A and B are shown apart, each in its own frame.
Chain A
């Protein structure tokens, strides 16, 4: 089964740039999607197809994917961005979706 590895936590000061990574074997060959989950709420899709933003998601959210690492970048971090973030790909060998373990973003 395909494994996605995320750092448990990332911290950044308001106004700075936060980067959350998602590691996987040759993940650059896959399409990576990112979800934001605030406490007590359902996950929300913030990035799909590596770098596309759904309607209503601020341009401050961007994504990239190459080699063995995909990255969610949040520019000009705000207090409201504090949340858990999950990456997700399709495991083609198992023919099912896979989630990473999640990263808690703390805005200092």
Chain B
């Protein structure tokens, strides 16, 4: 049974760096084709994909946020960490991590964490 859970601060100040951790179970990030991604959703708005890390440690980032994002994995701890620099109030959102069993053209997210709301305010 695959589960994922996000953790991190609920409140950050503008210009600070956000660090979120996704702790998962039921799969290994060293298994072929598996990846973990981060997706966010501002209140009342649509889902926005942020970053992705593959079992190979290959990484993908949203073109619009690439300069601010870093995704890493710790396979031994079953964790994926996302950092986002220079936070702004417009980054206020619920941040989700999710599992994908596939790569490339057939990519989809089959399991999601519950999400964590991050508010950016001074």
Closest 9 CB pairs of A and B: A33-B108, A42-B112, A102-B46, A99-B47, A90-B107, A96-B60, A101-B46, A48-B108, A97-B49
**Residues of chain B with a CB closer than 8 A to A94's CB:** 63
- CB-defined contacts of B37 to chain A, threshold 8 Å: 97
**Sample (11) of A-B pairs whose CB atoms are under 8 Å apart:** A33-B109, A49-B108, A90-B104, A90-B106, A94-B63, A95-B60, A96-B60, A97-B37, A99-B39, A99-B46, A100-B46
Q: A42-B113, A42-B115, A44-B112 are in contact. Are A97 and B96 (CB under 8 A)?
A: no
- Interface residues of chain B, those whose CB is within 8 Å of chain A, are 37, 39, 46-49, 52, 60-63, 96, 104-110, 112-115
Residue of A nearest to B113 (CB): A42
Contacts of A48 in B (CB 8 A): 108, 110
Judged by a CB distance under 8 angstroms, whether A92 is at the interface is yes
Chain A interface (Cβ < 8 Å from any Cβ of B): 1, 30-31, 33, 35, 37, 42-45, 48-49, 54, 86, 88, 90, 92, 94-102
Interface centre among B39, B48, B96 (most CB of A within 10 A): B39
- Whether the pair A42, B114 counts as a contact (CB closer than 8 A) is yes
A33 to B48, CA, bound (A): 15
Cβ B107 vs Cβ A86 within 8 A: no
Residues of A within 8 A of B61 (CB): 96
Contacts of A100 in B (CB 8 A): 46
